[in-house]
Structure 1
Amino acid sequence: MKNKTLAKDAWGSRLGLILAMAGNAVGLGNFLRFPVQAVQNGGGAFIIPYLVCFLILGIPLLFIEWSSGRFGGKFGNHSTPFILDTMGKGRIWKYIGVFGIFTNIAVVAYYTYIESWSLSYVLHSLMGTFEGMSQSQVAQFFDNYISISSSTTGIPFEPVVIYILVLILNVYILSKGLGGIEKAAKIGMPLLILFGIILAVKSLTLGESGRSVQFPDASAWDGLNFLWTPQYDSLLNPKVWLAAAGQIFFTLSVGMGTIQCYASYLKANDDVALNSVSAGFMNEFVEVVLGSAIVIPIAAGFLGLDWVLENAGFGMAFQTMPFLFQQWGTVMATFSGVFWFGLLFFAGITSSLAMGTPWMGFMKDEFGWGMKRGAWSFGLLALIMGLPTVLFYQQGFFDEYDYWGGTVSLVIFALLESILFSWVFGINKGWQEIMEGADIHVPIIFKFIIKYVTPLMLLLVFIGALVTPQGNDWTTNIQNLLSGNTWQLDSSSIIRKLSHFELTNQLAVSNTPLKREIIEDKIFYSNFARIQLVTLFLFIALLVYYANSRRTKLFTK
């Protein structure tokens, strides 16, 4: 049934759409997660599998989500439950589409918290807070900031206050509709790229000038050489392939529902092929060219590559970069701090804005809610879900959201939507949808890749995460299984995560009441986080059921 109440909201320009789509993809993962993933998976050993995954996983999923969104938009649908419902014949697809709203709310709940870190560090860079601090003091500053019981500015409950302010800023821009998002992208994306180029140039010209007394042999070029020297043996390492595929999901924002929502506001014959490739390659430029040229080379230049290899992690940028900037002098340290953390803030906010659009599109289509009502209700949901990630960050609340809402859900949804597109909707119809109005000729090989290679790769990624072998040693565990022995699961596998295997083992061997109390708290808050996530999913599913009932009644009349 075609919905007669088509949304009036539309993109003002093609450039604005591409920048908004790129802003959706370009986020904290480009500058924080990609370099760390590359370091933890062997540097040059990671690059080839990563680029292959981009071509056989990233680009095909972009084609799928852009064309699916535009197809659903022809029927007045602007959220994944009913976009998928227009493509599939069974009732189940609209409830699978719940992932496309659920994932965005779950992710924005904690993603906004990281944005608040970045904004706070911009302010502290301007205030000169880090001047004269040692590396350990800078690291301790981060720990102090995330602690509710302390304050780095004198503001009571400082992390909560800044988190709410950043969330309000997101909601305000969202309330302006696509026009507000487009304006934010047109300002934020060029500034983000400008900041990135400035820091990358500074990193590349650092040379050996960053050598310290403690690390006299350190060089920024060591970091670049490590990242960009290919190691072909990685092609036979399943662990590296899994890491590369996971990074593609994270960086391109596929499997979330935001791309379908944005594309649903296109006209019936608007191009999706060139748009999706443009947004995808812009993201890759920011990630591969800029993202790899900032944190790792600068850290290697001051602290040495060995230190980077040992300490690479998500928090490294907050715990080390202010100290590294101080080595450039007071004035340059201030500018660098503002540029770096301002870059992270812009990258974060252009992504989090996209996460509100599926909820708003759903509420507008099904219940007639306006932009302001939709945006503020989204903000309220994000606050309810996100406040515990601030209050109980040190108890692991944040990590649970990131794992289940920001990782596992993405893989499941992407796998199911690729099956829907190629095997239920039909690859012939799907290919026709991709090519309709296309401004480029997509090589026919992608038709084969979309139908067979992408779903198979997604299935392997999911199975790999579900039954990750102990120590990520696939070869040994497969040999053991063939010899009649049992498959030894790693504590990072989904199955072991569900049962709190690692925490339960720690609890069994803990020998002091304090350690037992800390572990018991982590288990409690982990379960609390999971209950919230399940409740959110069921709440959205109930709304979809109610909306479908309304549609059915309207149709029968």
Structure 2
Amino acid sequence: MSGKADSWGSRVGLILAMAGNAVGLGNFLRFPVQAVQNGGGAFIIPYLICFVVMGIPLLFIEWSTGRFGGRYGNHSTPYILDTMAKGRIWKYIGVFGIFTNIAVASYYCYIESWTMSYVYHSVVGTFSSMDQAGIANFFNDYTTIGGESTTGIPFEAVVFYIVCLLLNTYILSKGLKGIEKVAKIGMPLLILFGVILAVRGLSLGTGGASEMFPDANAWDGINFLWTPQFDSLANPKVWLAAAGQIFFTLSVGMGTIHCYAAYLKSKDDVALNAVSAGFMNEFVEVVLGSLIVIPIAAGYLGLDWVLQNAGFGMAFQTMPYLFQQWGDVLSIFAGLFWFGLLFFAGITSSLAMGTPWMGFMRDEFNWSGTKGAWSFGLIALIMGLPTVFFFQEGVFDEYDYWAGTVSLVVFAFLETVLFSWIFGIKRGWAEINMGADIKVPIIFKYLILVVTPLLLGWVLFASVPDMANKIANNDTNNKEWFTDTYYAENFDEAGTKTGVVDSVATNFIKMSYLNEKKVYNKELDKLEAITFTDYKTYSFEEGQEPIVKVGQTIKANDEIAKGDFTNRVFYKTIGRLLLVGLFLFISFMVYVAFNKRRKEGRVHS
């Protein structure tokens, strides 16, 4: 039997903790990039529709499911789901709710540790003498373990990662009260820092224009994001991207919401709490998230530069350079506010990821909160170190794709089917409305029953070809783990373009090829594609030798170097095996718990 369950100290603390769980790095790093890459205003309408027809219903499902399971003394998804339906399979589907959190936390804390490091470097002035290329290279050097240290600390990235993980584990060991205290401090500071930077984004205008970027205008970035493009409603790619962003932004499909809600009392409201946490997250993402990175970057570098370079790395490879344009003193505060904001966004999310494992171990094996927290930290460290040491080799990206994307969609689809069609919408609707402080519109009953599972099923089905390509390693032409030949990668997605060798040395090859980029036509208020000469560079180590000549035409999959190669697919396969091993380990623990329950006469099904 489980020990005495933890509990929330106040409703405000619960809502802030739930909002902190949802408000994460994706609000500031992923949302603006997704919006830019999917047409700006063309993305917003599908995104907001997906929030209503998929995001809010999933919040209702997970809050009410968690409270229902908590009523029976269950505080993690394997046995929360087990209480809702007959059949042993549901407890193993619930494994996703623990697996996803440990796997995501293992690499998410690495990003979180970057924000800690960048706060330090912003305050001590590391970036003050660097140009844009220097700051971009700083990030690459930082994530190349064993390379030149930026502080003189050997393996600096590893040290910051371990410190970050230790901090998370220590706070988790204090239970819900520790999480609640961090949320009450972190969320207001996050919003304060965000508002300060958003005001700067709004007020920058053309003040950042220069000889190199004479057309730079922050308002171009804002207008691009917020000018509706109704033709996007017929573009399935934009809808898929919008639906995917909902998972990231609300932390649905992970199991953390279930766990937090499991500590509610039986008649505590879930409807208003769910909506409050959801809309607080949307305010941070849609309002603050859209007014910082894109406008400030457009204000100094121009909208066309943003369109061509929008990516996750902008936060770390571009923003410190832009802050330097504000002067020596203001740049320190800007760096502190920006990376401090990201740190609080990260830690309020990563703390939530530890609670499902802790709840499971307390419920099933009577572990204390301290023991559960430190065991979580240890597993996350074991899983996370490969993403740190082999970040450049793609292990981080494998974790993010399989644990941080695919796992969310699979679990969200299955839990929605369970709630709507097996547990039953009649019982589910009653559970949502039990103790509710608001009257939930009846339309959501039918959204949960029909629209949400269909939309989730479509997202899952549409993702199958991408999953198949990932498994087959179709993103590379170098598919062998170890080989003596290196092949040219594709110059375009289809693999039909060719390149020309521009320069060759003993340790690199530089090739030119024709590429397309998007530019914004102000007069026509639309994006246009133009052709330009792009470059692809390959770097080689000792024992690897280029075999091409300047002027040679190269096709995808042509041999370009000989020597001893350990390709990225080797490291990516290690990452996949670690994820499979983690899932099987948690499944085994659930099986052991089931046998323990059966001996104690606590088996539900």
Do these two structures clear the TM 0.5 threshold for a shared fold by scoring above it?
yes
Alignment of 1:499 onto 2:547: no
Task: Name the stretch that deviates more: 508-517 or 111-120.
Answer: 508-517
Percent identity over the alignment is 71
Query: Structure 2 residue aligned with 1:512, among 560, 564, 571?
Result: 560
SS of 2:475's equivalent in the other structure is: helix
Alignment of 1:327 onto 2:325: yes
CA distance in 2, matches of 1:398, 1:355: 17
Q: Which residue of 2 aligns with 1:535?
A: 581
After TM superposition, give the deviation of residue 505 of structure 1 in Å. Answer: 6.3
SS of 1:201's equivalent in the other structure is: helix
Residue identity matched to 2:15? I
Query: Structure 2 residue aligned with 1:200, among 198, 207, 228?
Result: 198
CA distance in 1, matches of 2:346, 2:601: 41
Residue identity matched to 1:432? A
After TM superposition, give the deviation of residue 516 of structure 1 in Å. Answer: 8.0
Q: Which residue of 2 aligns with 1:246?
A: 244
Q: Which residue of 1 aligns with 2:137?
A: 140
After TM superposition, give the deviation of residue 521 of structure 1 in Å. Answer: 2.3
- Asked if the contact 1:49–1:244 (Cα under 8 Å) also holds between the matched residues in 2, the reply is yes
The 1:522/1:515 distance shift into structure 2, 3 A limit, reads farther
**Alpha-carbon displacement from aligned partner over 1:126-168 (angstroms, at most 9, x marks no partner):** 0111113111111011111111122100001111011000000
Q: Which residue of 2 aligns with 1:162?
A: 160
Query: Structure 2 residue aligned with 1:291, among 289, 313, 337?
Result: 289
CA distance in 1, matches of 2:449, 2:79: 22
The 1:6/1:424 distance shift into structure 2, 3 A limit, reads farther
CA distance in 1, matches of 2:122, 2:158: 20
- Asked if the contact 1:249–1:410 (Cα under 8 Å) also holds between the matched residues in 2, the reply is yes
The 1:153/1:168 distance shift into structure 2, 3 A limit, reads same
**Alpha-carbon displacement from aligned partner over 1:4-33 (angstroms, at most 9, x marks no partner):** x46331000000000000000000000000
After TM superposition, give the deviation of residue 48 of structure 1 in Å. Answer: 0.1
The 1:105/1:510 distance shift into structure 2, 3 A limit, reads farther
After TM superposition, give the deviation of residue 213 of structure 1 in Å. Answer: 1.5
The two structures, once aligned, show a CA RMSD in angstroms of 1.3
Q: Which residue of 1 aligns with 2:482?
A: none
Query: Structure 2 residue aligned with 1:124, among 107, 110, 121?
Result: 121
CA distance in 2, matches of 1:386, 1:261: 23
The 1:328/1:514 distance shift into structure 2, 3 A limit, reads farther
Residue identity matched to 1:329? G
Query: Structure 2 residue aligned with 1:18, among 2, 6, 15?
Result: 15
After TM superposition, give the deviation of residue 175 of structure 1 in Å. Answer: 0.2
The residue correspondences of 1:471-510 to structure 2 (distance < 5 A) are 493-504=466-477, 509-510=557-558
CA distance in 2, matches of 1:181, 1:423: 34
- Asked if the contact 1:6–1:76 (Cα under 8 Å) also holds between the matched residues in 2, the reply is no
Alignment of 1:422 onto 2:420: yes
SS of 1:512's equivalent in the other structure is: strand
SS of 2:567's equivalent in the other structure is: helix
After TM superposition, give the deviation of residue 504 of structure 1 in Å. Answer: 3.5
The residue correspondences of 1:357-376 to structure 2 (distance < 5 A) are 357-376=355-374
CA distance in 1, matches of 2:464, 2:112: 30
Alignment of 1:215 onto 2:207: no
Residue identity matched to 2:559? N
SS of 1:154's equivalent in the other structure is: coil
**Alpha-carbon displacement from aligned partner over 1:302-343 (angstroms, at most 9, x marks no partner):** 000000000000011100001000111000100000000010
Q: Which residue of 1 aligns with 2:494?
A: none
- Asked if the contact 1:211–1:302 (Cα under 8 Å) also holds between the matched residues in 2, the reply is yes
Q: Which residue of 2 aligns with 1:300?
A: 298
Residue identity matched to 1:134? D
The 1:510/1:377 distance shift into structure 2, 3 A limit, reads farther
The 1:106/1:514 distance shift into structure 2, 3 A limit, reads farther
SS of 1:129's equivalent in the other structure is: coil
Unaligned segments of structure 1, at least 5 residues: 468-492
CA distance in 2, matches of 1:6, 1:388: 35
Question: Which has the larger helix fraction?
Answer: 1
Q: Which residue of 1 aligns with 2:222?
A: 224
Q: Which residue of 1 aligns with 2:106?
A: 109
Q: Which residue of 2 aligns with 1:79?
A: 76
Q: Which residue of 1 aligns with 2:572?
A: 526
After TM superposition, give the deviation of residue 514 of structure 1 in Å. Answer: 6.0
CA distance in 1, matches of 2:563, 2:174: 49
After TM superposition, give the deviation of residue 116 of structure 1 in Å. Answer: 0.6
The 1:207/1:39 distance shift into structure 2, 3 A limit, reads same
Q: Which residue of 1 aligns with 2:90?
A: 93
Query: Structure 2 residue aligned with 1:408, among 406, 420, 423?
Result: 406
Query: Structure 2 residue aligned with 1:548, among 579, 588, 594?
Result: 594
Residue identity matched to 2:575? A
Unaligned segments of structure 2, at least 5 residues: 480-485, 488-556
Q: Which residue of 2 aligns with 1:8?
A: 5
**Alpha-carbon displacement from aligned partner over 1:30-82 (angstroms, at most 9, x marks no partner):** 00000000000000000000000000000000000000000000000000000
CA distance in 1, matches of 2:305, 2:229: 21
Q: Which residue of 1 aligns with 2:436?
A: 438
The 1:401/1:515 distance shift into structure 2, 3 A limit, reads farther
SS of 1:503's equivalent in the other structure is: coil
Q: Which residue of 2 aligns with 1:338?
A: 336
